[in-house]
Amino acid sequence: MLKILRYIVPALTVFWILPDGLEAAGFTILRQSSKESLELHLYADEQSGYLDLRELAETLGDSLRWERPGEKLVWNIAGHSLVFEERLVFFLGDGHPYQLVAPCRLDGGKFLVPLQLAVEYLPGLVSGRFVYNRLDSRLIDKAGVRGEPAAAGQEKKAAPPAAPKTTTADGKNFRISKVVIDPGHGGKDPGTTGRKYKLDEKNIVLEISKKVAGNLKASKKVEVLLTRDRDVFIPLRDRGKLANESGAGLFVSIHVNAAKNRRVGGSTTYFLDAAKTDQARATAMLENAALDYETEEQDKGRLDEVNLILQDMAQNEYLRESKDLSAFIQSELCGLKELDDRGLDQAGFAVLKGAFMPAALIETAYISNESDEKLLNSAKFKDKLAEAIASGILKYIEHYHKKLASGN
């Protein structure tokens, strides 16, 4: 939350966030050479402040074009290519993914991007040209004339690193250098809710996921990307898509289970395959219910059968690896004496279908079980859970890379 406030607090001096809908106010860009002060509209909702990308591009210059009308925009600015897509909570800068505090959104014909772009990423990506002054909340544009790129020498230095390649064109030598951690649910979709402590799954899994990401980063062995780092709704399909487009090599979705029978408890790690038991089927149905929160419009053209079959086929290729990944994670989880070990299982989770890489879904514990719920309420236990999950992921990666080296 603090991180988010850093971006929106300066803006709060000029407008207040309205809970329903967007309210316009100002964001200032100072053109250094002419000392011109340019006022842009600033929009906001409860998640973030936003700028209209078209207005920003027209003010700063260079070209903005639709790659897919109404959905995907490419902005070429000072020799860099920035790609934004509606509803995605990251953008690509020269092919490298950068996480945003809130998804890009289309609103009444305006393509809105989080203010974070101007405050943090433009000065970072095009550092020869942009500086953000935190004292007066203004973006300083050193290029001066509209559309004039900064000196070439300065640009070279500021170029971001290329996205790490996890695979070669022929799919061989597929090394895992980036992992996507997916905290289930979020925003209007709370997931399941506990009875005693009234905990929402979306909050528990976000906390665990952040801890997992922290542990993975600390290992210095992989890069980590979260599909969400705050309480925001992201459609299931966009989660796998983020993983695919970011060049990640693994996708791990983190959840909390619930059952009618309150005696049922413990942890299970799932990979994507047809469910074999009623319990696995029920778990998948519970998680796939997140689809009900997605509006018809968001799903237009996406949920047709051909798509689903193709996605099944794509994830099928990774069945062996997904199973291994799940086994490594579950074997670490079963080391936690407080939780019952419910073992490995398989079911048709929609969120795993879109990720074209080894993928697993962890049901960390049952929120419907009193003893499990108590554990999920403990920060200390969530630390232990996260350590176990991160350790399972790292052990799998090590195993996988050894297998690569031995040519099997």
Residue owning tokens 């900064």:
150
Stated as kind and residue range, the H or E segment containing 158 is helix 152-158
Binding status of residue 80 toward Zn ion by CB under 5 A: no
- Residue closer to Zn ion by CB (options 129, 255) is 255
Binding status of residue 183 toward Zn ion by CB under 5 A: no
**Considering only residues 290-329, where is the footprint of Zn ion by CB under 5 A?**
none
Candidates 97-105, 116-124, 280-288, 388-396 — which segment interacts with Zn ion by CB under 5 A? 280-288
**Closest-approach residue to Zn ion (CB):** 255
- Residue closer to Zn ion by CB (options 228, 255) is 255
C-alpha 213/C-alpha 364 separation (Å) is 16
CB of 24 to Zn ion, least distance (A): 36
CB under 8 A, 24+ apart: contacts of 399-405: 399/324, 399/328, 400/176, 400/321, 400/324, 401/175, 401/176, 404/173, 404/174, 404/175
- What helix, strand, coil percent values describe the chain, rounded to 5? 35, 25, 35
Residue 392's nearest CA partner among 318, 341, 355, 316 is 341
Sign of CA dihedral 224, 379, 188, 356: positive
- Upper half-sphere CA count for residue 215 (Cβ side, 13 Å): 20
- Residue closer to Zn ion by CB (options 83, 361) is 361
CB of 344 to Zn ion, least distance (A): 18
Binding status of residue 97 toward Zn ion by CB under 5 A: no
278 φ, ψ to 5°?
A: -65, -35
Binding status of residue 194 toward Zn ion by CB under 5 A: no
Number of Cβ within 10 Å of residue 20's Cβ equals 6
- Residue closer to Zn ion by CB (options 129, 353) is 353
Candidates 211-219, 275-283, 285-293, 320-328 — which segment interacts with Zn ion by CB under 5 A? 285-293
CB of 215 to Zn ion, least distance (A): 21
**Considering only residues 217-256, where is the footprint of Zn ion by CB under 5 A?**
255
CB of 269 to Zn ion, least distance (A): 13
- The radius of gyration of the chain's CA atoms, rounded to the nearest angstrom, is 22
| Identified binder of Zn ion from the candidate list 128, 149, 191, 249, rule CB under 5 A | 191
Binding status of residue 202 toward Zn ion by CB under 5 A: no
CB of 289 to Zn ion, least distance (A): 9
Residues lying near Zn ion in the complex (CB under 5 A):
184, 191, 255, 287
